[in-house]
Amino acid sequence: MSNTLLSPPGLLLDLPDQAVLAMHAGEPRHGQRLRQDVAALAGALAAHPARDWGLFHDHGYPALVALLALWQSGKRAWLPGNNQPGTEQALGRHCQALLGDWPRPTALPTGTVPLPAGPLDADAELVIFTSGSSGEPQAISKRYRQLFDEVAILEQAFGAGLGGAAFAGTVSHQHIYGLLFRLLWPLASGRTVHSETLQDPASVLALASAGELAWVASPAHLKRLPDDLPWASAGGLQAVFSSGGPLPEDAALALAERAGQAAIEVYGSSETGGIAWRRQGADNDDAWTPLPGVRLEPGPRGATLLRSPHLGESQPWPLADAITLRDDGRFHLGARLDRIVKVEEKRVSLSAVEQALLADPAVAEARALQPAGEQRLGAVLVLSAEGETLQREQGRAALIRRLRQRLAANLETIAVPRRWRLVAALPETGQGKVPMRALQALFKHSQARLPEPGDAHWSAADQVTVSLGVAADLPWFSGHFPGQPVLPGVVQIDWAEGLARRYFELPDGGYRLQALKFHDLILPGAELQLTLQWQASTGTLRFAFRSRQGPHSSARLVFEEPR
Amino acid sequence: MSDHLEQELKELIITTLDLEEIGSDDIDAGEPLFGDGLGLDSIDALELGLAISKRYDVKIDADDKTTREHFASVRALADFVRNTRA
């Protein structure tokens, strides 16, 4: 049986006086107390002229009181993801006043008369921001009615399995997922809100050893759980929710095994609200099931259109993720269709990262990407003349530190690239495009010891020539051979193959070496031309190293058929 | 003054977080790990906490207010590990 929800307009009036609605700072907060706290704050807010308030609280209970008081007093609440100086400055464009845990919150009038609880306006407004997007966060307006409808659907979908469980979270209530799951849903369904945003899973399990509990979590925590958590004593754990991004399968299965139940993952976004859910490990299926009332249909250009009760008037909504619909109504989730990537559940705009990099005079060209299989971003840069000078005089580490610091001032820390590739020129195709494959190739570990090629000259669609300087301080020159350093033949073949991967789509498997010829030694300081020709039909890569002195080496690499 | 534990922690930070641009000599034991200094974030803190509790068999309570201070710098971390193990 799911719980009965309070009616939206009467929410404040109907809160049961004696029920424990929240645990805050170790003490229970009953319905009567919440009503008093809201009335007192609403009275003060009503006496202040500002209409738009930036709301931030470290803890859930005061955030809930503040939100209800803003609505009760006819104000509009703006809920930013953090209270950092940059956020405060950006909020200043929309809000005349700040409420809660800010360095300098707006002074409220004192001695005002409490504003007694009345029906809440169904159109009362809350503005939220897209989760941690770098660049300009997008503001999204939600109506009280919309939020409440979403709560009703959550109760319908998941309420029966929860009983009277209290809610605790390791995600912030300052984002829509935490706000709905940690505060509004338990409040409207008569369950207890744990006010503190917990960091440590052990704290969550301690609560679950004392009573029934639903854990509002995210993949960031769930995929990094310590091995030694006391699961056995956490018998009260009724459900683990996860949202913000898909939970990797191995993390989902490990959790299901240890916790004795699979996490309920919820797929959605700030703009769309909840869309679907799944339980990997319980279902043997990683497909998503639409939430009640949600419909998905194929749209133009590979996009999927969403129709949902949470969308209000902006129907149908084209989703930013690639989606494969199944006949049984469930679906598989693919990659993003735009230049947004998720880094540990936070949206990051690659364009914004590139803009921030280009704003530094040391940078001439910039590409940001998420290297395959990694979370943190990588950046590929071509330095400007100023950047080259800086690198020569202060070194690569100092240059990158400077770029990191510049980015950290403008972007969320998580959006600052962790891996950097400084190249003489971006790897371009004959058509002048910079293919993602070539950028990705730069971050493969085998690429770490390749020399940096200069501009690529294409003589045909399948043939490219690049210039390479052979630095005298390459590791291969030391000890090979004493007194007469030369570039080993095996290194030449590695260079040819590795560099070819930036320009052509070579198979991953092994190859046979044919017609290998070494004409002339390659010495430190040599200026080489490397010509690469790729014949896809036969899987053959030809390479030749030349310099002013003539040919140095050449061979054919015949790749094996992929099995 | 070179401290063995500090050196070990620097290397643990670099390998745990896969900081390919940074060598242990680039990390000043006194500089802030988060924000302005090394520029680590809350996800890094999570991973670092896991790695340190595993390597040194110390218990780290992420909800304890003092934990933040222990993670302020390599030096603070070294003090924390030393005192907790003792």
Q: Is A174 helix (H, G, I), strand (E, B) or coil?
A: coil
Instruction: Compute the distance between CA of residue A264 and CA of residue A308 in angstroms, rounded to an integer.
Output: 20
For residues B51-67, average pLDDT: 87
**pLDDT at B1 (0 to 100):** 47
CB pairs under 8 A between A and B: 49
ipTM (interface predicted TM): 0.79
Closest chain B residue to the Cα of A84, Cα to Cα: B35
Chain centre to alpha carbon of residue A223: 14
Name every chain B residue with its beta carbon within 8 A of the beta carbon of A346.
none
Q: Do B61 and A221 touch (CB under 8 A)?
A: no
> Percentage of residues in chain B with pLDDT exceeding 90?
34
A523 with A562, same domain? yes
In the DSSP assignment, the letter for residue A206 is H
Residue written as tokens 């364009």?
A: A351
DSSP symbols for A289-349: EEPTT-EEEE-GGG-EEEE-GGGTTS-SEE-SEEEEE-TTS-EEEEEESSSEEEETTEEEE
**pLDDT at A563 (0 to 100):** 45
Q: Do A200 and B61 touch (CB under 8 A)?
A: yes
A438 with A558, same domain? yes
Q: Which of A422, A450, A465 is a domain's end point?
A: A422
A416 with A496, same domain? no
Whether A502 and A436 have beta carbons less than 8 Å apart is answered as: no
Name every chain B residue with its beta carbon within 8 A of the beta carbon of A220.
43, 46
Instruction: Compute the distance between CA of residue A549 and CA of residue A528 in angstroms, rounded to an integer.
Output: 10
Quote the minimal CA–CA distance from A156 to chain B in Å. Answer: 33
DSSP symbols for A65-116: HHHHHHHHTT-EEEE-S---HHHHHHHTTT-SEEEES-SSPPPPPSSPPP--
Beta bridge partners of B37: none
- Whether A387 is in a domain gets the answer yes
Q: Do B63 and A203 touch (CB under 8 A)?
A: yes
- Whether A142 is in a domain gets the answer no
Tokens of A160: 């029966």
Residues in chain A, how many? Answer: 563
**pLDDT at B81 (0 to 100):** 93
Q: What is the CATH number of the domain that holds A345?
A: 3.30.300.30
Question: Whose CA is closest to A127, among A104, A95, A105?
Answer: A95
- Sign of the CA dihedral with A356 first, then A361, A365, and A368 last: negative
Whether A517 and A550 have beta carbons less than 8 Å apart is answered as: no
**pLDDT at A450 (0 to 100):** 79
A437 with A546, same domain? yes
Chain centre to alpha carbon of residue B79: 10
**pLDDT at A445 (0 to 100):** 59
The answer, yes or no, to whether the previous bond of A316 is cis (omega within 30 of 0) is yes
**pLDDT at A313 (0 to 100):** 75
Instruction: Compute the distance between CA of residue A483 and CA of residue A523 in angstroms, rounded to an integer.
Output: 12
Neighbours of B1 (CB within 10 A): 4
Q: Is B35 helix (H, G, I), strand (E, B) or coil?
A: coil
Q: Which of A422, A449, A465 is a domain's end point?
A: A422
- Its domain, for residue A372, covers 339-422
Of B36, B47, B63, the CB nearest to A224: B47
Q: Do A203 and B18 touch (CB under 8 A)?
A: no
Residue to substitute from B34, B43, B58, interface A, most A β-carbons within 10 A: B43
Model pLDDT for residues A453-501, shown as the tens digit of each residue = 888 888 888 999 999 988 777 767 765 566 678 888 888 998 998 889 8
Q: Residues in chain B whose beta carbon is closer than 8 A to a beta carbon of chain A?
A: 17-23, 26, 35-36, 39-41, 43, 46-47, 50, 53, 61-63
Instruction: Compute the distance between CA of residue A397 and CA of residue A349 in angstroms, rounded to an integer.
Output: 25
How many Cα atoms sit within 13 Å of A495 on the Cβ side?
26
DSSP E strands: which ranges in A149-255?
Answer: 166-169, 193-197, 213-217, 237-243
Instruction: Compute the distance between CA of residue A194 and CA of residue A34 in angstroms, rounded to an integer.
Output: 14
Name every chain A residue with its beta carbon within 8 A of the beta carbon of B50.
224, 226
Quote the minimal CA–CA distance from B69 to chain A in Å. Answer: 15
For chain B, list the domains and their CATH numbers: 4-85 (1.10.1200.10)
State which amino acid sits at residue A141. S
Q: Do A420 and B36 touch (CB under 8 A)?
A: no
- Whether A177 is in a domain gets the answer no
Beta bridge partners of A369: A378
Chain centre to alpha carbon of residue A128: 17
Number of domains in chain A: 2
Q: Do B61 and A413 touch (CB under 8 A)?
A: no
Name every chain B residue with its beta carbon within 8 A of the beta carbon of A413.
35, 39-41
Q: Do A397 and B22 touch (CB under 8 A)?
A: yes
Closest chain B residue to the Cα of A220, Cα to Cα: B43
Q: Is A119 helix (H, G, I), strand (E, B) or coil?
A: coil
Residues with pLDDT less than 70, chain A? 1, 131-136, 429-432, 445-448, 475, 478-483, 561-563
A462 with A542, same domain? yes
Of B18, B43, B62, the CB nearest to A200: B62
